[in-house]
């Protein structure tokens, strides 16, 4: 296994962990969208469904599927935007609890998502050669 592939796996696992932490932070901080989607059970169902999609992507990355590398870049970009969005909205509104909770884990999403994109892009040529 190449060093680049190892880094993809490490950063992907970190992103999955930060993703779970982010949802937990949103719940504990009473993120305002929880009530907009019909309450906590629906919010959890939506997030569990989305997480399983990403878990499937990760498994496909482990199997070295080129399409999963490309979709994983999109996932990482979405998570970076998500993390930045929570922080910007909290700063603008001044409201964390009952507002835009998710900013602390949002920082992790940004810090992990950026190198994840870098290492995935670096790994795509290796996948193409196979």
- CA-closest candidate to residue 57, choices 44, 47, 66, 48: 66
CA distance 113 to 122: 14
Q: In this predicted model, what pLDDT tens digit does every residue of 63-76 receive, in sequence order?
A: 999 999 999 999 99
pLDDT at 93 over 80: yes
**Are the CB atoms for 106 and 26 separated by under 8 Å?**
no
Give the residue extent of every domain in the chain.
3-129
Q: In this predicted model, what pLDDT tens digit does every residue of 8-39 receive, in sequence order?
A: 999 999 999 999 999 999 999 888 888 888 99
CA distance 22 to 81: 13
| Residue 46 confidence class, pLDDT cut points 50, 70, 90 | very high
pLDDT for 31 equals 84
């Amino acid at each position: 296994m190449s060093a680049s592939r190892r880094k993809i796996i490490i950063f992907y696992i970190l992103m999955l962990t930060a993703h779970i932490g982010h949802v937990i932070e949103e719940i504990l901080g009473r993120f305002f969208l929880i009530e907009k989607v019909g309450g906590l059970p629906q919010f959890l169902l939506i997030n569990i469904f989305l997480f399983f999609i990403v878990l499937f992507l990760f498994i496909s990355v482990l199997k070295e599927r080129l399409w999963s590398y490309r979709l994983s870049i999109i996932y990482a970009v979405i998570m970076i935007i998500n993390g930045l969005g929570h922080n910007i909205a909290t700063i603008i509104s001044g409201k964390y609890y009952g507002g835009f909770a998710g900013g602390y884990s949002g920082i992790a999403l940004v810090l992990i998502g950026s190198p994840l994109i870098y290492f995935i892009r670096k790994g795509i040529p290796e996948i193409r050669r196979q």
